[in-house]
């Protein structure tokens, strides 16, 4: 029943322009992680509102390991609400003894906005997962059509295989290079997040259906990266 409700919510969002807003931050050199996280907990008191509530994940592998990803607790925001959410997120009232500022926080890209792509998502299940895996690719200008045809073929094959994979696809709007495609899947355990067996099976089927797909892909995309993050409820608004 819970998954049905989540699908209804996702389907409703899919009919309008929908965004994911997030910020990636790190710990400045010389700052103790314990002090950084204590300051974040105090700062979260400023986000203790319906629209401003924050969810925090910490990247545990890859080149950005140790960094934190923060986003509104709602995860996705419709176009008619993005101004209100952003205003609550950025222009909140100050809290006493708030030290969570540029002296200890290393900002990476500022606030990044992604546009949800329901047509490239697969069996989306939106909730606060314990682990998320984010796979990102940059698609060249003029290469979107070829890249998206591969994404869509992959989803057709998943359907035929009866795959139980699930992910949402988003495309960078502002704050990242243009045409960055990000696929986010949620998992209850780390072993699930690290499991690539379904993806490897998919690649095998792709090669049968479209033998030259790797050449097409190589001409369309570059800079692929996949990282796993763990939810930090202690650093989030409950």
The residue extents of the domains of the chain are 2-235
116: tokens are 């949800």
Compute the distance between CA of residue 62 and CA of residue 206 in angstroms, rounded to an integer: 26
Question: pLDDT truncated to tens, each residue of the chain (238 aa)?
Answer: 434 334 434 444 454 699 999 999 999 999 999 999 999 999 999 999 999 999 999 999 999 999 999 999 989 999 999 999 999 988 888 899 999 999 999 998 889 999 999 999 999 988 889 999 999 999 998 899 999 999 999 999 999 999 999 999 999 988 777 789 999 999 999 999 999 999 999 999 999 999 999 999 999 998 899 999 999 999 999 8
What pTM was computed for the model? 0.89
Task: Give domain 2-235's CATH number out of 3.90.190.20, 2.60.40.10, 3.30.70.100, 3.30.9.10.
Answer: 3.30.70.100
* Phi, psi values for residue 223, rounded to 5°: 60, 45
Region of residue 5 (left: phi > 0; alpha: psi -120 to 50; beta: else) = alpha
């Amino acid at each position: 029943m819970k998954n049905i409700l989540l699908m209804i919510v996702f389907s409703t969002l899919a009919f309008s322009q929908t965004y994911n807003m997030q910020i990636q931050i790190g710990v400045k050199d010389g700052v103790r992680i314990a002090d950084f996280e204590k300051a974040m907990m105090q700062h979260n008191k400023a986000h203790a509102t319906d629209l401003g509530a924050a969810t925090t994940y910490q990247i545990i592998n890859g080149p950005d390991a140790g960094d934190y990803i923060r986003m509104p607790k709602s995860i996705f925001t419709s176009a008619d609400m993005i101004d209100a959410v952003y205003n609550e997120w950025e222009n909140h009232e100050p809290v006493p003894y708030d030290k969570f500022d540029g002296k200890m926080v290393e900002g990476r890209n500022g606030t990044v906005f992604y546009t949800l792509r329901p047509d490239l998502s697969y069996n989306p299940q939106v909730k606060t997962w314990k682990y998320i895996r984010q796979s990102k690719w940059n698609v060249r200008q003029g290469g979107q059509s070829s890249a998206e045809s591969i994404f869509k073929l992959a989803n057709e094959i998943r359907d035929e295989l009866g795959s139980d994979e699930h992910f949402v696809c988003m495309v960078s709007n502002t704050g990242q290079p243009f045409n960055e495609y990000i696929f986010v899947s949620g998992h209850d355990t780390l072993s699930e997040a690290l499991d690539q067996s379904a993806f490897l099976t998919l690649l095998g089927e792709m090669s049968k259906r479209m033998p030259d797909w790797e050449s097409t892909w190589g001409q369309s995309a570059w800079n692929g990266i996949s990282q796993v993050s763990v939810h930090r409820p202690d650093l989030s608004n409950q």
